[in-house]
Each structure stands twice: as C-alpha cells, then as structure tokens.
Amino acid sequence: MSRSERLLDLIQILHRHRRPVSGRTLAGEMGVSIRTLYRDIATLQGQGAPIEGEAGLGYVLKPGFMLPPLMFTDEEIEAIVLGSRWVAKQPDKRLAAAATDALSKIAAVLPDDLREDLDATTLLVGPGSGTVEAIDLGVVRQAIRDERKLGFLYRDAGGAASKRMVWPFALGFFDKVRVMVAWCEMRQDFRHFRADRMSGLSATDIRYPRRRQAMLKEWRATLDRPVQNASNNSED
C-alpha cells in the first residue's frame, strides 16, 4: 500500500469514529506501528485535515471535512451505483431524486477513468413492486429526524381502521412494502406499520419524550428475546 493510500484509509477510519479514538486502536486497524500512525496524523494535520487530539487522549476528525476527488475500487463503484439505482426506483419520490442527485455529484468529482467505470457498470436493478403508498414517506423521514409525533389512520390486514399517534424512529425498505417502526401510544408498545395501509398522515410539532436512538436500541433488543417472552411488536 502506498503512503497516499494509507493516509486516505486513515481519513476513512476517522470518519467512522464519532468519538475520540486512541492512536493504538487506529494503528491496529491500519496494521501499522504507533510511530507510523503518529507521523501520518501529523502529515494530515499539516495538509489541513481538521484532526483534533493528541497522543494519550485520542483523535477525532471534525464533522464536515470533505475528501478531495475520490478514488474507488471497482467493487466500491458497483456498490454505489447498485444502491443508488435501487433507491431511485423506490416509491419515495424525494428519496429517489436524492439518490440520482447524489450519484451525479459523486460522478462529478471522480477522475475520468473512474467516471467511465461508473457509467459503464452492468449491475442492474429490476422493476419496482408497483406498490403505491397514499402517504408521503418524506414526511415520515422528517418526523424521524426531528423526533416528532405522527398521527394517521391505519387499516390492519382485516381492514379494520384505527386512529394512531406514534413516535416513529425507523423506516424499513423492502422489495414490495415500506414499514415504519414506532412506539404506538394506543398499544403502549413497539409496532410495525405498513406504509400502504396508512392514510391521513398528520405531522405534528410535538417532540416525543425519548431519543430515537435509545428506542431503536430497545426495539432491537426485543427482536432477540424468545418468542414466548417477546412483546407483540409485529405488524399492527
């Protein structure tokens, strides 16, 4: 591995860590000596990378730092294109447009040879499921980001309707359906709601009383519990 590749890897590793990480941990991830790691940190800092910290305390890369024109392997390019093409075919129109725009921005900063590889990739995505939701999934995603309550009318598999007020914290994308994961005030438990059975979506300015990451962690824990002890948090 060349020194420039090693420096790029170090930046990418720092991007993955949101909190200060020790030099020994970084050196271990990169497979270099601690002395080499310290030299590489100093080199990046000298080139303007906003890396804060020092030996013994750990290092963190300040948010917002952008890499120069990007270099990708063939498989990384295929993963980017395939993922973007899949999202671009989802019913969430705003997210689909964002995927197309993101791919264009990436292409704009790639060297010419890699841009040609990106345009020529032959990994294709099949046609969408054709399922159309009556709600704007962009509203759901915004409520999740802002940690705000959502109200809506929900029809279960048997067609019975009920009004719900929920605390949304995750949105699952599957081939034929989109599923919102939320804490349901009526059920006082975690519930899964199919987007194609939701209507009358009403965004609120009411912040729910818990952090979404804490609820996500707790919900994941319920999935690991034995079936006989787990709460009934399947599709409502």
Q: What is the pTM of this model?
A: 0.66
Predicted local distance difference test score (pLDDT) of residue 16: 84
Which backbone phi and psi does 83 adopt, to 5 degrees? -60, -45
In contact, 231 and 189? CB cutoff 8 Å: yes
Q: Chain-centre distance of CA 153, in angstroms?
A: 27
Reported as a single tens digit per residue, the pLDDT across 4-18 is 678 888 888 888 887
Q: Distance between CA 234 and CA 190 in Å, rounded?
A: 8
Q: In the chain, what are the domain boundaries?
A: 3-61, 74-120, 137-224
**Quick one: CATH architecture of 137-224?**
Roll (2.30)
Which residues, at least 6 apart from 197, have a Cβ–Cβ distance to it below 8 Å?
154, 155, 156
Q: Distance between CA 48 and CA 61 in Å, rounded?
A: 11
How is residue 21 annotated by DSSP?
B
Across the range 142-160, mean pLDDT stands at 95
Reported as a single tens digit per residue, the pLDDT across 92-103 is 889 999 998 888
Q: Do domains 3-61 and 137-224 have the same CATH topology?
A: no
How is residue 62 annotated by DSSP?
P
Q: Is 9 helix (H, G, I), strand (E, B) or coil?
A: helix
Predicted local distance difference test score (pLDDT) of residue 168: 98
pLDDT at 225 over 70: no
| Residue range 3-61, CATH number | 1.10.10.10
Q: Which two tokens stand for residue 228?
A: 């006989």
